[in-house]
């Protein structure tokens, strides 16, 4: 279950009957029109919606990066005014089962559950022209003049050769006016040309597994107009890797047929499909009659052409092709006549169903009046609920926007997709990464406990009885997992389970039975205990955890291939997990374990502070050859970020060592665009023949600004009480801030979601952002800012307030849902220090300490905090 699935068809039916269908439809219509009109939302679905870029109640949105985009905060949207942004700026539309990654210019890919085996449409990663293909609409004026909506073939042949796309791309002819916007689970395009305006909202609603293309066409001119409207999608062959390998044969196993009632059905031959019985059938239909269709891509596009100039459109109409083998597509032609000032709505559905009968039923349901509006209302409601767990007002509007909207949105998409598919990742053999997803859970816990629990069940089911886990796995695909054993993977779940229990106040999850991957079962606590045992059983010659294949830093495998390498960072992560286990053990009836965990912690702490200390920072690892990695003795990779931050996070750094280590980070790793992962970058270390990494200096794992690892520096600085540094590290990576600093053409990626890394100063493109959207940065940045800078943190005893803000902030407010109650918290920085809670008042009464009492679900509690 996730945010998009909550209001299911069944749930919706119940809610609708309580509300009355008319009221529900009206709510949907208002919501859809709000999506269409940005903040004001005053018009209904059928009306022309005002230009969102014109002054609204909230004022003119501030256009940034040379006018490329603007945030519409009230509407939780970002608007784009430039078609040719440096990269496709993506959004993910999803109901948890059916997904669409869609760019600001309409390129993107649809998939059902898995982009690896059920990829429905084609997207050409890396290829030029960029950002193709997508769910495109084409609008073409005919010279037919007045008449009915349904045209004859002769009429259609009189269509004008000129046509354009509301998405702007891919037609050669551009609209006269255009903009697009991403919102929470939807993307909108508004365009106008020749007296016709088109507004399209793409989204996946909670009721059906389909991408809904909600198009409103308005005749802004003085004369009646008849238009051909084409909806087009190029179908992929479901199994992406087999498509790459065997397309020449498999293409003859696909078909596109035309079912009565104007429905195109796409079937894929399931010969070697890993899950043939679950492979869906694809439908493509609209809620208006068709005047033509095509299922054969060659018939629609023509040879030596592209989506920019489809032959069928230039000839004035579809050819009514079906396909029994070949290159499949779905093209629907609809003909619309609009009186002056008239608006008409068309909905197109690209969806999946188990079989033909179900597909036709799904189309029938989708064609019901108000289906689109109701679906949109459901989507809105789910996001309102999800984001309702947290709202803050801060002196920094950029931080406020990230924390209220884009950061939790991005983190939820990571939780859903792991690191599977993005503009950068092709969705090929990635599956669910154990370490990645275990960390993603941390940001979902405050918003959706049940979804977090489900994900933990899934993860713990990948654990072996000896405590280690599969590195990544394929829950949808049914493929064998990737079984490389890493020193850190299995330890992440202790952190996530602890958070879950603190958030819910319910320890019963610890007793839940979960199977081991290799047989047998054990409680959740037992799984965590065995994870600890596994690390304890795999310590190296220096007593640190063996590196095994690698730790969090993937690239470290090269210095520990022979199996003797040890990870000093994992010792710190182990320590962090042990602290969580010391809390959890008594709750699970394992009180005696707590003592053992404490001893283990103490032992690791001693080693970290002795062999692990280099004088000004902590060392990173012991290599196979017994030498340390991350020491001043070497000229490359002397200093590694993670070993400094986690020395503080784990509480292991003795005395002043944590502060000294973090000073080294500030002095040697920090830049104005984030903190480098290591310094100096590696060129020929430990040897020219076999360097630790092949990444160019300043890129990726070799001295880039690795955003995920930066989040831990923020937390560490908060733990050291240095709010100014914590905030510096936080703010400089807010994507729009970093883009302002680097410039849009250098930064390139989206200014509303975090990227995995930015090229560092040692590269020739310092500030170039890479691998945006799906990165552990999202979860940890959210944790760092909400729990450590703003200091609103779930603890086992209740909600704790422990801020560490920049000293110059006068205060801020947070509204936080916690165990069913709503805490309205106002923090005043009266001391000017930005930390140390002096007084807390709840409902006007003074409270001892900074731990807030638990309130009954449904209660709203006003809390004043004085620093």
Looking at the Cβ atoms of 433 and 680, the one nearer to ligand IFM is 433
Segment near ligand IFM (CB under 6 A); pick from 91-99, 248-256, 275-283, 551-559: 551-559
Please write down the long-range contacts of 67-74, taking CB distance under 8 Å and 24 or more positions apart. Answer: 68/744, 69/751, 71/401, 71/736, 71/752, 72/38, 72/39, 72/181, 73/397, 73/401, 73/405, 74/38, 74/39
**706 CB-near residues (< 8 Å, 6+ apart):** 641, 676, 677, 756, 757
Nearest distance from residue 776's CB to ligand IFM, in Å?
A: 6
Tell me: does residue 433 bind ligand IFM (CB under 6 A).
yes
Q: Contact letters (x/-) for ligand IFM, 377-416, by CB under 6 A?
A: ----------------------------------------
Looking at the Cβ atoms of 54 and 484, the one nearer to ligand IFM is 484
Tell me: does residue 440 bind ligand IFM (CB under 6 A).
no
Candidates 552, 618, 628, 818; binder of ligand IFM (CB under 6 A) is: 552
Tell me: does residue 554 bind ligand IFM (CB under 6 A).
yes
- The Cα–Cα gap between 249 and 247 comes to 5
Candidates 345, 436, 526, 750; binder of ligand IFM (CB under 6 A) is: 436
Looking at the Cβ atoms of 556 and 804, the one nearer to ligand IFM is 556
Nearest distance from residue 775's CB to ligand IFM, in Å?
A: 7
Looking at the Cβ atoms of 554 and 667, the one nearer to ligand IFM is 554
Segment near ligand IFM (CB under 6 A); pick from 210-218, 260-268, 327-335, 432-440: 432-440
Nearest distance from residue 660's CB to ligand IFM, in Å?
A: 25
Nearest distance from residue 714's CB to ligand IFM, in Å?
A: 17
- The Cα–Cα gap between 864 and 848 comes to 13
Looking at the Cβ atoms of 263 and 716, the one nearer to ligand IFM is 716
Nearest to residue 710, comparing CAs of 738, 682, 686?
Answer: 738
Bond prior to 680 in cis (omega within 30° of 0): yes
Looking at the Cβ atoms of 486 and 607, the one nearer to ligand IFM is 486
Looking at the Cβ atoms of 450 and 554, the one nearer to ligand IFM is 554
Looking at the Cβ atoms of 84 and 554, the one nearer to ligand IFM is 554
Q: Write the DSSP string, 709-731.
A: HHHHHHHHHHHTT-HHHHHHHHH
Tell me: does residue 553 bind ligand IFM (CB under 6 A).
yes
Nearest to residue 679, comparing CAs of 641, 628, 629, 627?
Answer: 641
Nearest distance from residue 673's CB to ligand IFM, in Å?
A: 19
Segment near ligand IFM (CB under 6 A); pick from 176-184, 276-284, 531-539, 552-560: 552-560
Query: Shortest Cβ contact with ligand IFM: which residue?
Result: 554
Segment near ligand IFM (CB under 6 A); pick from 4-12, 144-152, 262-270, 548-556: 548-556
- The Cα–Cα gap between 252 and 244 comes to 15
- The Cα–Cα gap between 46 and 346 comes to 10
Segment near ligand IFM (CB under 6 A); pick from 200-208, 225-233, 428-436, 562-570: 428-436
- The Cα–Cα gap between 420 and 301 comes to 30
- The Cα–Cα gap between 406 and 752 comes to 6
Q: By rule CB under 6 A, what count of residues binds ligand IFM?
A: 7
- The Cα–Cα gap between 777 and 677 comes to 13
| Widest pairwise Cα distance in the chain | 87
Nearest to residue 438, comparing CAs of 461, 415, 419, 463?
Answer: 415
Looking at the Cβ atoms of 440 and 477, the one nearer to ligand IFM is 440
- The Cα–Cα gap between 56 and 461 comes to 51
Segment near ligand IFM (CB under 6 A); pick from 103-111, 547-555, 562-570, 580-588: 547-555
Looking at the Cβ atoms of 462 and 850, the one nearer to ligand IFM is 462
Nearest to residue 741, comparing CAs of 674, 690, 678, 679?
Answer: 674
Positions in 662-701 near ligand IFM (CB under 6 A): 701
Looking at the Cβ atoms of 387 and 716, the one nearer to ligand IFM is 716
Q: Please report which residue ranges of 388-433 form alpha helices under DSSP H.
A: 397-401, 407-417
Q: Is the dihedral of CA 415, 419, 424, 426 positive or negative?
A: negative
Nearest to residue 203, comparing CAs of 49, 79, 35, 71?
Answer: 35
- Applying CB under 6 A, the residues found at the interface with ligand IFM are 433, 435-436, 552-554, 701
């Amino acid at each position: 279950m996730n945010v998009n699935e909550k209001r299911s068809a069944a749930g919706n039916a119940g809610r609708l009957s309580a509300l009355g269908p008319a009221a529900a439809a009206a709510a949907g219509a208002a919501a859809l029109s709000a999506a269409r009109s940005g903040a004001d939302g005053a018009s209904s679905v059928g009306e022309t919606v005002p230009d969102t870029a014109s002054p609204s109640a909230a004022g003119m949105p501030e256009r940034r990066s040379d006018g490329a985009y603007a945030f519409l905060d009230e509407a939780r949207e970002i608007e784009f005014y430039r078609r040719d942004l440096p990269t496709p700026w993506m959004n993910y539309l999803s109901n948890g089962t059916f997904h669409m990654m869609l760019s600001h210019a309409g390129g993107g890919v649809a998939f059902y559950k898995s982009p690896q085996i059920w990829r429905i449409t084609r997207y050409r990663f890396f290829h030029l022209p960029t950002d193709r293909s997508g769910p495109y609409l084409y609008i073409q004026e005919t010279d037919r003049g007045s008449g009915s909506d349904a045209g004859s073939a002769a009429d259609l042949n009189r269509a004008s050769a000129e046509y354009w796309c509301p998405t702007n791309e891919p037609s050669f002819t551009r609209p006269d006016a255009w903009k697009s916007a991403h919102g929470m689970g939807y993307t909108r395009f508004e365009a106008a040309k020749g007296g016709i305006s088109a507004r399209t909202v793409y989204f996946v609603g909670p009721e059906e597994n389909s991408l809904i293309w909600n198009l409103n066409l308005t005749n802004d001119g003085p004369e009646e107009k008849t238009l051909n409207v084409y909806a087009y999608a190029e179908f992929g062959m479901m199994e992406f890797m087999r498509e790459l390998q065997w397309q020449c044969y498999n293409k003859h196993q696909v078909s596109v047929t035309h079912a009565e009632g104007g429905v195109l059905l796409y079937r894929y031959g399931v010969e070697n499909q890993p899950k043939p019985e679950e492979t869906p059938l694809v439908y493509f239909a609209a809620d208006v009659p068709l005047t033509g269709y095509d299922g054969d891509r060659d018939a629609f596009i023509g040879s030596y052409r592209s989506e920019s100039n489809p032959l069928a459109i230039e000839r004035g109409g579809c050819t009514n092709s079906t396909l029994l083998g070949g290159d499949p597509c779905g093209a629907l032609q609809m003909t619309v006549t609009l009186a002056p000032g008239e608006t008409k709505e068309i909905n197109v559905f690209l969806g999946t169903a188990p079989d033909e009968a179900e597909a036709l039923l799904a189309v029938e349901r989708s064609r019901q009046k108000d289906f689109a509006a109701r679906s949109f209302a459901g989507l809105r409601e789910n996001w309102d609920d999800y984001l309702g767990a947290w709202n803050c007002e801060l002196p920094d509007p950029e931080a406020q926007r990230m924390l209220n909207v884009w950061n939790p949105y991005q983190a939820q998409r990571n939780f859903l997709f792991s690191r599977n598919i993005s503009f950068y990742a092709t969705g090929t053999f990635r599956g669910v990464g154990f370490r990645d997803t275990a960390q993603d859970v941390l940001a979902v816990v405050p918003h959706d406990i049940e979804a977090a629990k489900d994900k933990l069940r899934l993860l713990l089911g990948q654990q072996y009885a000896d405590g280690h886990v599969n590195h990544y796995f394929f829950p949808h695909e049914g493929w064998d997992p990737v079984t490389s054993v890493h020193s850190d993977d299995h330890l992440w779940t202790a952190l996530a389970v602890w958070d879950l229990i603190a958030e819910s106040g319910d320890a019963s999850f610890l007793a839940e039975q979960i199977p081991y991957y290799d047989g047998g079962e054990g409680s959740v606590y037992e799984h965590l205990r065995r994870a600890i045992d596994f690390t304890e059983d795999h310590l190296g010659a220096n007593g640190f955890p063996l590196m095994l294949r690698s730790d969090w830093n993937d690239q470290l495998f090269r210095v520990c291939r022979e199996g003797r390498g040890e990870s000093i960072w994992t010792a710190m992560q182990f320590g962090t997990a042990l602290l969580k286990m010391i809390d959890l053990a008594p709750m699970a009836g394992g009180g005696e374990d707590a003592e053992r965990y404490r001893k283990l912690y103490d032992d690791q702490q001693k080693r970290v502070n002795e062999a692990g200390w280099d004088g000004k920072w902590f060392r990173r690892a012991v290599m196979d050859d017994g030498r340390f990695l991350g020491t001043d003795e070497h000229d490359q990779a002397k200093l590694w970020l993670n070993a400094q931050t986690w020395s503080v996070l784990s509480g292991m750094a003795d005395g002043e060592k944590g502060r000294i280590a973090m000073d080294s980070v500030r002095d040697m790793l920090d830049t104005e665009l984030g903190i480098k992962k290591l310094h100096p970058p590696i060129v020929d270390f430990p040897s020219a023949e076999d360097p630790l990494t092949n990444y160019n200096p300043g890129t990726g794992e070799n001295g880039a600004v690795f955003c995920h690892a930066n989040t831990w520096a923020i937390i560490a600085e908060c733990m050291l009480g240095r709010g100014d540094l914590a905030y510096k590290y936080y703010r400089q990576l807010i994507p729009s801030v970093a883009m302002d600093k680097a410039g849009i053409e250098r930064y390139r990626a989206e200014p509303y979601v975090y990227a995995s890394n930015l090229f560092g100063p040692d590269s020739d493109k310092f500030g170039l952002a890479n691998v945006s959207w799906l990165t552990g940065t999202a979860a940890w940045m959210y944790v760092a800012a909400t729990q450590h800078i703003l200091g609103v943190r779930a603890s086992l005893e209740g909600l704790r307030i422990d801020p560490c803000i920049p000293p110059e902030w006068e205060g801020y407010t947070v509204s936080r849902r916690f165990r069913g109650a709503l805490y309205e918290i106002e923090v005043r920085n009266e001391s000017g220090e930005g930390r140390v809670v002096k007084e807390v008042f709840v409902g006007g009464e003074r409270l001892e300490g900074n731990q807030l009492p638990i309130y009954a679900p449904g209660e709203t509690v006003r809390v004043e905090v004085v620093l």
